[in-house]
Structure 1
Amino acid sequence: MSEIKLNLTDAQHTISGAIHGSVVDACIAALSAEPETINELEAALARYNKPAGDINPFGWFRKHPGIDKESWDAGIVVIDLAARIIAFESTYSRPGPQGEVHYHDGVCATDTSIFYRLPNDWLFLDSIDQYEGLRDPRRRERRSTPPLDTRTILYGRSLLEFIVRESWSLNHQSATAHDGDAIVEVERSLTAHSGELPLAKAAGMSPAIANSLGGHQPMAETLVGDNSSESVREAESQQSDAPDQDDTLRQQISLLHAKWLMTPRHDLRGESPRDVLLARQDFVDYDLHTR
Structure 2
Amino acid sequence: MSNPDGRAYLERTKNYCWRGTGNGVDLNRNFDWEFGQKGSSSLKTDEEYRGTHAFSEPESRVFTDVSRSINLDAFVSFHSGIRQIYIPYADSKSKSTKRKPANSVRMLDLARQLSRCTKHTFKYGQATNINTYSADGTIFDYMAGQRKVPFSIVIELWGDSEKHKGKSCFDLFNPPSGDLKAVIADIHSLYVTLFSYLMDWKASRNSTSQVSIKRFSTLDEPPFLTLTYIIVAMVLVALVLVIIQGRLPFFSWCIARRRLINLRSLSTTFSVNVLKL
**TM-score with structure 2 length normalisation?**
0.26
Structure that is richer in strand per residue = 1
Structure with larger Rg: 2
- Say which structure, 1 or 2, has more relative contact order (CA 8 Å, 6+ apart): 2
